[in-house]
Amino acid sequence: MTYQTLLVEQHDIALYVTLNRPHCRNAMSLTMVEELAQLFHELEHNQNIRALVLKGSEGHFCAGGDIKDMANARGRALQTQSSPEQKENTNPFFELNRAFGRMITQADHLPQVVVTVLEGAVLGGGFGLACVSDVAIACASAQFGLPETGLGVIPAQIAPFVVKRIGLTQARRIALLGDRFDGTEAVKLGIAHYLCNNTQQLDEQLTRVLSKIKRCAPGANRVTKSLLHQVGSA
């Protein structure tokens, strides 16, 4: 499959997926969300891929939802709608929000070990993806945050995964204040597991993580991940 917003490559046991909209710090358009959802669907029963590596292009992981893209989409949609009822129901933000909710749930339930490489902007939806990864590697200079409330938006799809990752107390502070923090703080909060100082260290740590995954029995990893989901949801 050819992707507009993703770069996809397989190396050994891992599928590397790079969010590739560098002009907007890899912010998510509806196309990107739909492409990720399709890719995750294809991975659900793929036993040859044992690890999924999610990263961003040109120094940023993901800056959240692309507000400008949504505004442009709304303008185009309004031009094609004739009735007042159709125009009232034309809201690309809600469409993107619903699609993102479905996609992040897919990511959370993938049988593969999901590894995120976090640098630059890790905001909004990017923050959410970090919270559903099994292993997160962060650069110390990365900027994490939930800017939604500052934009007049409710982080409804992301909130459950953030709470599950770091607990209600810290999730309240981050979401309600719109605070931003670096990779060092992200590791302290439990969002990320490994801290690196530069791109070379990120790559080296990723290699070590994938080596450990490769040593594990693939069937045991899949069943264990499913079991942990059940325990965590009990």
CA distance 140 to 38: 32
Q: What's the confidence (pLDDT) of residue 81?
A: 57
The mean pLDDT of 14-41, rounded to a whole number, is 98
Q: Is the pTM of this model over 0.95?
A: no
Tokens of 150: 């500052």
Check residue 81 and give left, alpha or beta (phi > 0: left; psi -120 to 50: alpha). Answer: beta
pLDDT of 206 > 60? The answer is: yes
Contact between 106 and 157 under an 8 Å Cβ cutoff? The reply is: no
Q: What is the DSSP letter of 24?
A: G
- The whole-number pLDDT of residue 201 equals 99
pLDDT of residue 95: 83
Looking at the predicted structure, is the pLDDT value of residue 97 above 90? Answer: no
CB atoms near residue 219 (< 10 Å): 10
Helices 30-43 & 67-80, crossing angle to 10 degrees? 100
**Confidence bin at 1 (pLDDT 50/70/90):** confident
* Domains of the chain from N-terminus onward: 6-233 (3.90.226.10)
Residue 98 has pLDDT above 70, yes or no: yes
Instruction: Specify the range with the lowest mean pLDDT, choosing from 87-91, 106-110, 121-125, 202-206.
Output: 87-91
For 228, the 3-state DSSP assignment is helix
